[in-house]
Amino acid sequence: MFRRLLPVAFGVCAGPIAAQDACENIPYDTANCVRTLACVGDDGLYFDGKARGWDRGTVAGRLSDGIACDGTWDSSRGDGIGTARLACTDGTELGVTYRTIDNETGTVIGDGADSTGRDIRAWSGAQVLRFLTPEGGVSAELPCSPEEEILISQASLSLNDSWMNRASQ
């Protein structure tokens, strides 16, 4: 069973899409930005956001229930392992430890937990949607629930750039 994420999910666009700051993979540059997705628990709740920076930086986005979360990430140890810590507007805190898969594209896979004890599985990178798209599939699928996969589209991120950019500045 599949649930499709509509392009206008997460709220109202605060201006023309063309006027919003794009999320662009720029290796080795502090202006680098990649998509970040995570499953929070196993009831279908997920995080959709952006990670900005190189070796360390900010991450901001929203949970699928509309709660905004932002924080920092750091992989400056040099061993391919990093951490991300986020605080959400409802008081929930998220913590993830991740492994770098491809440094140039910002591809990481991680896991952790939130402050309520729910498990977190996270993916990030310039090609995260391709990575999460099954062979022969047309959309990325987040495995956030045993009963259904959540389909993610590129449009769901681009329509929300304005609030994510404000949160990460």
For 121-139, the pLDDT digits (tens) are 999 999 999 888 888 888 8
Do 97 and 85 contact (CB within 8 A), yes or no?
no
pLDDT of residue 18: 35
C-alpha to C-alpha distance for 47 and 95, rounded to whole angstroms: 13
β partners of residue 7: none
Supply the pTM of this predicted model: 0.77
Predicted confidence band of residue 6 (pLDDT cuts 50, 70, 90)? very low
- Neighbouring residues of 79: CB distance < 8 A, sequence distance ≥ 6: none
User: How big is the CA angle at 120 (ends 119 and 121), to the nearest 5 degrees?
Assistant: 125
pLDDT in tens, 62-74: 999 999 999 999 9
pLDDT of residue 143: 86
Q: Which residue has the higher pLDDT, 9 or 58?
A: 58
φ/ψ bin of 58: left (φ > 0), alpha (ψ from -120 to 50), beta (otherwise): beta
Q: What is the mean pLDDT of the chain?
A: 80
Average pLDDT in the 22-51 region? 95
User: Any idea where the domains of the chain sit in the sequence?
Assistant: 2-168
pLDDT of residue 138: 87
pLDDT of residue 145: 76
Sheet holding 140-142, edge to edge: 2-4, 149-152, 140-142
